[in-house]
Amino acid sequence: MSRHYQHNHYLWIDVARIFAIFLVILNHVNEQINVTPITGKTISIEFLGRLGVPVFLILSGYLMINRDYSNKIMIKKFTKHNLFSIVCSSLFWTAFFSVYSYLVLANGDTDVLIKNLIFQQRSSPQMWYIQILPIVYAFIPLISVAKK
């Protein structure tokens, strides 16, 4: 039987996740109401709302950084179960939003499609997170080993 990651349950992480979910929802709701006139209130809501995704990224890093990456088996498991799925998800969503942007927003402009697909521009604002996440994940084992 292969070794499994040790899973600890932290209540504060669950609370932080609920808070982050609330912030993401707040941000998406605010996008619909953040039209002129822009006020201090809408700017504050947008600022708070944009913290949701980084909170999720930090929580993921916190949970993954304390794993054992000192042998090839654990690195292979991390690559197969975490890194590979994140890379595939990022590529899928990049392609999906690129095609959507090409068909709906860019009125068939092929240059827009190509730039979106090769990461020269983003088809939508949230793509910064989707495209940076695999890079962050790739460094987790290295940071974990350096931490120890």
User: Could you state, in order of their start, the residue ranges of all structural domains in the chain?
Assistant: 9-65, 69-148
Given this model, what pLDDT does residue 89 score? 87
| CB-neighbour burial class of residue 78 (10 A; exposed 0-12, middle 13-18, buried 19+) | buried
Q: Where are the alpha helices (DSSP H) in 66-83?
A: 72-78
Give the pLDDT confidence of 27-77 residue by residue, as tens digits. Answer: 777 666 656 667 777 778 778 878 888 888 888 778 888 888 888 888 888
Cβ distance 136 to 122 under 8 Å? no
**What average pLDDT does range 70-90 have in this prediction?**
87
Q: Give helix 52-65 / helix 127-147 axis angle, nearest 10°.
A: 30
Own/partner pairs, 93-99, CB within 8 angstroms, 24+ separation: 93/127, 93/130, 94/119, 94/123, 94/127, 94/130, 94/131, 97/123, 97/124, 97/127, 98/123
At 4-22, the pLDDT tens digits run: 545 567 888 889 989 988 8
Residues across the chain:
148
What pLDDT, on the 0 to 100 scale, is given for residue 42? 75
pLDDT number for residue 40 = 79
| pLDDT tens, residue by residue, 112-143 | 888 878 777 776 766 777 778 888 888 888 88
Question: Does residue 96 have a pLDDT over 70?
Answer: yes
Residues 79-104 have a mean pLDDT of 85
Confidence at residue 2, expressed as pLDDT on a 0 to 100 scale: 45
Q: How far is 44 from 25, CA to CA, in rounded Å?
A: 15
What is the DSSP track for 82-100? Answer: IIHHHHHHHHHHHHHHHHH
Which residues, 6+ apart, have CB-to-CB distance to 12 below 8 Å? none
Measured distance CA(139)–CA(75) in Å, rounded: 12
